């Protein structure tokens, strides 16, 4: 039941998805501590080897799913990584699936995978992807400075 065939991503698309490819050091994408706050339902926290600490809410992570299907969906709807679907596109709010994972596990030594309660699990969240999309104040401020808003 997979619709996720091989796809070729153009340079332009890649740049758009990664929100500006600033160089990143290996130490910055080496996690020292990974905490998935499943029982609290809060999100993911990572302490990196360079001393930086990142935190992401589960709703953000679900809307930032890096699988080909979600990447396409975001592209078609003009959404950024982690940006929720517009209200108009939503079904009745009561049918909105919970943006929470039932479980999470490591993929090799480079990534994390979530099994979302809505049944989705195709996204592999690499450390680099997560670090590049760090949602802490400092990083989101820096990203807003460099990318600005096209609209
Ligand atoms: Zn996905
Ligand atoms: Zn950060």
Strand locations in the chain (E): 31-36, 43-48, 53-57, 101-107, 111-116, 124-126
Residues near ion ligand 1 (CB < 5 Å) are 65, 67, 70, 122-123
Residue 67 alpha carbon to ligand 1 centre in Å: 4
Average pLDDT estimate for 91-102: 69
Residue 132 alpha carbon to ligand 2 centre in Å: 8
Tens digits of residue pLDDT in 51-84: 999 999 999 999 999 999 999 999 999 999 999 9
* Rounded CA separation 77/69 (Å): 12
Which ligand has the nearest atom to the CA of 140? Answer: 2
Which ligand has the nearest atom to the CA of 132? Answer: 2
In terms of pLDDT, which residue wins out, 83 or 147? Answer: 83
Tens digits of residue pLDDT in 13-35: 554 555 556 788 999 999 999 99
Paired tokens of 75: 């592209």
Paired tokens of 25: 């050091």
**Is the confidence at residue 117, as pLDDT, over 60?**
yes
Q: Rounded to two decimals, what is the model's pTM?
A: 0.77
- Strands of the sheet with 101-107, listed across from one edge: 101-107, 111-116, 124-126
Pairing label, strands 43-48, 111-116: unpaired
Burial class (CB in 10 A: 0-12, 13-18, 19+), 69: middle
Residue 20 alpha carbon to ligand 1 centre in Å: 21
* Rounded CA separation 82/61 (Å): 6
Instruction: Determine the Cα angle at 67 with ends 70 and 37, to 5°.
Output: 95
């Amino acid at each position: 039941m997979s619709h996720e065939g091989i796809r070729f991503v153009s340079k332009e698309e890649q740049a758009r998805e990664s929100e500006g490819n600033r160089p990143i050091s290996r130490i910055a994408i080496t996690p020292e501590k990974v905490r998935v706050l499943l029982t609290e339902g809060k999100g993911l926290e990572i302490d990196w080897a360079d001393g930086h600490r990142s935190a992401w809410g589960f709703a953000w992570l679900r809307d930032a799913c890096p699988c080909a299907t979600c990447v396409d969906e975001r592209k078609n709807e003009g959404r950024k990584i982690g940006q929720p679907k517009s209200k108009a596109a939503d079904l009745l709010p009561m049918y909105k699936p919970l943006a929470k994972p039932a479980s999470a596990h490591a993929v090799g030594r480079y990534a994390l995978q979530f099994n979302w309660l809505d049944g989705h699990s195709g996204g592999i969240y690499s450390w680099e992807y997560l670090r590049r999309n760090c949602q802490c104040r400092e990083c989101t401020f820096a990203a807003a400075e460099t990318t600005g808003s096209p609209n």
